[in-house]
Amino acid sequence: MRSIGLVAETKDGERRVALDPSAVAALVAAGSSVLVESGAGARAGFPDDSYRRAGAHIVPSPDDAWGADIVVKVKEPLPGEWRWFRPGLTLFAYLHLAASPELADALASNGVDAVAFETVTDATGLPLLAPMSEIAGRAAAIVGAFHLAGGSGVLLGGAAGVRPARVVVVGMGVAGSVAARGARGLDAEVTGVDVDLARLRALHVEGAVTATLASSESALDDVIPEADLVIGAALVAGARAPTVVRAEHVKAMRPGSVVVDLAIDQGGCIETARPTSLSDPVYEIDGVIHYCVTNVPGQYPQTATRALSAAVAPRLRCLADDPEHPMLRGGWNVRDGRISHPVVAAALAQHTP
Ligand SMILES: NC(=O)c1ccc[n+]([C@@H]2O[C@H](COP(=O)([O-])OP(=O)(O)OC[C@H]3O[C@@H](n4cnc5c(N)ncnc54)[C@H](O)[C@@H]3O)[C@@H](O)[C@H]2O)c1
C-alpha cells in the first residue's frame, strides 16, 4: 500500500490540517504508513504526540512528508511548495484549478496526479466541499455583521422602531443557505438568489429566507443597491464562478455596506472581488467594504479540521487502495500530465490566449 504524507499548511493564517489523529488511527489500522510533518496539527489543537499515539511516524521536515507516495493537505500548494512536485506523486487537496492556470500547469508539467476535494461528487452533491462550505457559510454572516459595525454602522437585526438590515445571498447551495440561516437567526431580512427555483422554494418554506429571487442580472438591479450585506456563494462545480453581481451593482450600494464573496476561491461571483487573506481580509471599492478571504474556515481550525477529516479519511483510504474507486468520482483533475476533468479543462482553456 502506498505511503501517505500529511503536511503543514503554509497559506496566510491557515491553521487547519487535513487529517485529525482519529483519521490517522483508522488509516494506520487499515495498513497505511502515515508520515506526519512535525507540528502540522499544532495550530488546530492536535500536537505531534496525538498523531504518534495514533500510529503515525512524525517526520522532522516538510521534505520527508512530501516524499510520501500520496500527499494530503487542505489548501492548494503555494508556489513555494511546487519544488516538491515530481512524477509519481499523488496530491489530494482543495485545488480550485479553474481559477489558477499556473498551478494547473505546474502539476501537469511535473507529472503530479491530483484529486481535488472540491470536485469529488456523490449522490448528495460535493461531499468534500460541503463541510467547509457549511463552516464558511456560518462565518459569512458573522464576518458580514462584524464589518458592518465598522462600515455603515447597521446592526443586522435592527431594533424596535428601526428596520433590520437587508441581506442578499447569491447562490443558495450549502454555503449560501447556511449563511442565510445565520443572518435570519440575527433577525435580518434575507433575500436568497439562485438559478434553482426548487431550492429557493424549499428554503423559503422552511424560513431560511424572507424572500427569493430567480438569478439574473436585471433582477439584481433592484435588490443589490438596497442591500446592507451581499454574500456571494454561486458555484458551477469545477468551473470558474459565474459573475452574478456586477461592478455597477456594487457602485450603487450605500457607503459602508459590505460584500462577502465566498466564491472567490473559484474566481469570485462578485465582479469587484479579488482574493484577500486572513491577516488582511478587507478592502474598499466605491466605499463598499469587500471581504474575499479564500480560506475562511482556516480561522476555525478545531471544528474545520474535524469536519474535513471525517469526510476526507474514507476517500483517502480508497485513493491508497484503488484509485478508480467510485468514492473518488469526479475528483481526478490532473492525470498523466494533462487536465483530466472536462469542466476544469474547459475553464482553463478560456484562460489560454
Ligand atoms: N472562501 C472560502 O473560504 C470558502 C470555503 C468553502 C467554500 N467556498 C466556496 O463557496 C462556493 C459555494 O460552495 P457550495 O458548496 O455552497 O456550492 P453548492 O454547489 O452547494 O451551491 C452553489 C449554488 O450556486 C447556485 N448557482 C449557480 N449558478 C448561479 C447563478 N448564476 N446565480 C445564482 N446562483 C447560482 C447553484 O444553483 C447552487 O445552489 C464555492 O465556490 C466554494 O468553493 C469558499
Give the residue extent of every domain in the chain. Answer: 4-120+300-351, 130-294
Q: How many angstroms separate the alpha carbon of residue 99 from the centre of ligand 1? A: 14
| 92, three cell numbers | 489530494
Report the relative pairing of strands 113-116 and 332-335 from DSSP bridges.
antiparallel
pLDDT at 148: 98
Domain 4-120+300-351 has CATH 3.40.50.720: yes
Q: Which residues are catalytic?
A: 96, 265
pLDDT at 350: 86
Write the DSSP assignment of 172-227 as a string of letters: -SHHHHHHHHHHHHTT-EEEEEES-HHHHHHHHHTTS-SEEEE--HHHHHHHGGG-
CA distance 291 to 6: 30
Confidence of residue 318 (pLDDT cuts 50, 70, 90): very high
Instruction: Provide the 10 A C-beta neighbour count for residue 204.
Output: 15
Give the Å distances, CA to CA, from 278 to 7, 281, 318, 350: 20, 5, 33, 29
Is there a contact between 301 and 51 (Cβ–Cβ < 8 Å)? no
CA distance 98 to 107: 13
Nearest CA to ligand 1 atom 21: 173
**Burial class of 218 by CB neighbour count within 10 A (0 to 12, 13 to 18, 19+):** exposed
pLDDT (tens digit per residue) in 46-96:
999 999 999 999 999 999 999 999 999 999 999 999 999 999 999 999 999
pLDDT (tens digit per residue) in 100-127:
999 999 999 999 999 999 999 999 999 9
CA distance 252 to 286: 9
- Ranges of beta strands (E only) in the chain are 4-6, 34-37, 57-59, 70-72, 90-93, 113-116, 166-170, 189-194, 211-214, 229-232, 258-261, 282-285, 288-291, 332-335, 338-339
pLDDT at 108: 98
pLDDT at 351: 72
Q: How many angstroms separate the alpha carbon of residue 263 from the centre of ligand 1? A: 6
pLDDT at 1: 76
CA distance 232 to 241: 10
Q: How many angstroms separate the alpha carbon of residue 231 from the centre of ligand 1? A: 11
pLDDT at 353: 57
Percent residues over pLDDT 90 in the chain: 95
Q: How many angstroms separate the alpha carbon of residue 97 from the centre of ligand 1? A: 16
The set of protein residues with a Cβ atom below 6 angstroms from ligand 1 is 118, 125-126, 129-130, 132-133, 136, 170-176, 193-196, 199, 215, 233-236, 241-242, 244, 262-266, 293-297
Mean pLDDT of 131-138: 97
Query: Pocket of ligand 1, candidates 143, 174, 235: which has the most ligand atoms within 8 Å of its Cβ, to mutate?
Result: 235
pLDDT at 217: 77
Residue 11 pLDDT > 70 = yes
Answer yes or no: same fold for 4-120+300-351 and 130-294. yes
pLDDT at 352: 64
Confidence of residue 328 (pLDDT cuts 50, 70, 90): very high
Is there a contact between 282 and 291 (Cβ–Cβ < 8 Å)? yes
Q: So what's the architecture of 130-294 in CATH?
A: 3-Layer(aba) Sandwich (3.40)
pLDDT at 154: 98
